[in-house]
Amino acid sequence: MSIGSIKAVSANPTWPDEIYQVLKEVGVQQVALVPDAGHTRLIKSFEADNSVRVVSLTTEEEGIAMLAGAWLGGQKGVLLLQSSGVGNCINMLSLPNICRMPLLMLVTMRGEFGEFNPWQVPMGQGTQPALESMGVIIRRADKPEDVTRTVAGAAHLAFNTWRPVAVLIGQNVLGAKNFKEMAQK
Amino acid sequence: MTSPMVSSSNLLHRRAVIGELLRDRGDLLCVASLGAPNWDITAVGDHPNNFPLWGAMAASVMMGLGLAIAQPNRRVIVFAGDGEMLMSLGALATVGAQKPRNLSVVVLDNERYGETGMQKTHTAAGVDLTAVAKGCAIPTCLTVKTEAEIAGLRRAVYEGEGPVFATVKIDPEALPFVLPPSDGVILTTRFRQSVLGNEALYN
């Protein structure tokens, strides 16, 4: 890898398997998601787990409402999404906020470190302020070795104090793609 | 002889329909969307197993899905206004893909945005929500327009295999507000305590 690389630090990171274990340990039984490449391995783990219900959504705000319903029925869940999907959630975040319900969001970031697609930048840069404006507590993980502990801390914060908490997993961790380079090959 | 369930313009009264669906409800769990469906379920009798939304438009169907997954041995009914349903058509696709056997979605369709001045919704222009639900692979889809059809809807909600979707065409009447608690923490806590027991207060 060149010293100027924007690829993921590790081609086979351990954190997706570790956060699967963390989420199992805290008792997650419902997984709501709009797929993102950064969550591919975690999604596969949940899909192979018969004790967890994986629900693919048409838009991310559905997941906020679904996990509120899950909480009413006594189950914990997690919402997996890309930063662009955060913008689809804003008014729906009223629900966990005003009802003092836990919400755990794992957001894979675009539009920041090494981004090639200009269209990802506005929402990527707006992700954290948008969430904070709706009362969501933010934790960031910008190194692969920090992801597991950050997710564990966020999960305990969310489920023990009944708050919406989002972990932003930085593009530095995930590695930036470049479709323009790929198109030239 | 006119029925108390039907208006002078021969449309169903919304609270009469809901009263019939929530009568002798057993352990049925109920979510209602913001606005009139919230006031309606409260008017027929506030209940700890009701979750009336005061905001978060477009939440109701997906809340019902998460609740139905979490409580597979109980039946869940969602009452949504037509404006609410139009804002969350994608949720019907998600419900159709998940096929929860214990979930019913009942849309109270007055073809109006009732809280904001009775502006027409798309259903007034012929958009057919039952056809949308059918297209979303929801197996049981009904449109209810008459008093005689209510019994069949009640059977589908309590005994049928879900998911069930129904559009109930109702009179665009403005009824007195009957308000449940507005504090989300109270609504959440009383619901969880009722469904999960006192244990819910400790975690």
Asked if residue A124 lies in contact with residue A114, where contact means CB atoms within 8 angstroms, the answer is no
B98 to chain A: which residues are within 8 Å by CB? 55
Q: Which of A126, A117, A50 is nearest to A85 (CA)?
A: A126
- Using the 8-state DSSP alphabet, how is residue A9 labeled? S
What's the CATH number for A15-184?
3.40.50.970
Residue A70 has pLDDT above 80, yes or no: yes
The answer to whether the Cβ–Cβ distance between B56 and A57 falls below 8 Å is no
Instruction: Please report the pLDDT score of residue A181 as a whole number.
Output: 81
Q: Is the pLDDT of residue B145 over 80?
A: yes
Average confidence (pLDDT) over B73-80: 98
Confidence class for position B26, pLDDT limits 50, 70, 90: very high
Instruction: Kindly report which listed range (A11-20, B49-58, B94-103, B179-188) carries the lowest average pLDDT score.
Output: A11-20
**DSSP character string of B131-176:** HHHHHTT-SEEEEE-SGGGHHHHHHHHHHS-S-EEEEEEB------
Of the candidate ranges A3-17, A133-147, A159-173, B24-38, the one whose mean pLDDT is the lowest: A3-17
Q: How many separate helices (H) and strands (E) can be counted in chain A?
A: 9, 6
Confidence of residue A136 (pLDDT cuts 50, 70, 90): very high
Question: Considering only CB atoms, which chain A residues are within 8 Å of B71?
Answer: 73-74
The proportion of chain A whose per-residue pLDDT surpasses 70, expressed as a percent, equals 99
A55 touching B, CB under 8 A? yes
Nearest to B94 among A57, A69, A100 (CB): A57
d(C-alpha B7, C-alpha A154), whole Å: 53
Segment B19-39 shows an average pLDDT of 98
At A1 the pLDDT is 64
Q: What is the pLDDT of residue A5?
A: 86
pLDDT at B3: 85
Q: Do A66 and B200 touch (CB under 8 A)?
A: no
Residue B25 has a pLDDT of: 98
CATH number assigned to the domain with residue range B14-202, chosen from the 4 options 1.20.1640.10, 3.40.50.970, 1.10.3330.10, 3.30.420.280: 3.40.50.970
Mean pLDDT of chain B: 97
Per-residue pLDDT at A124 = 98
pLDDT in the model for residue B119: 97
A24 pLDDT band, cuts 50/70/90, is very high
Identify the CA nearest to A75 among candidates B102, B104, B93, B195: B195
Q: Reply yes or no on whether the pLDDT at B87 is more than 90.
A: yes
Confidence of residue B1 (pLDDT cuts 50, 70, 90): low
Report the 10 Å Cβ neighbour count for B72.
12
What are the structural domain ranges in chain B?
14-202
A75 close contact with B: CB closer than 8 A:
yes
Mutation target to probe the A interface, by most A beta carbons within 10 A, among B71, B78, B94 is: B94
Whole-number percent of chain B with pLDDT over 90? 97
Residue B187 has pLDDT above 90, yes or no: yes
Residue B68: pLDDT over 70: yes
| Residue pairs spanning A and B at CB distance below 8 A | 112
Regarding predicted confidence, which is higher, B27 or A183?
B27
Q: What is the three-class DSSP state of A89?
A: helix
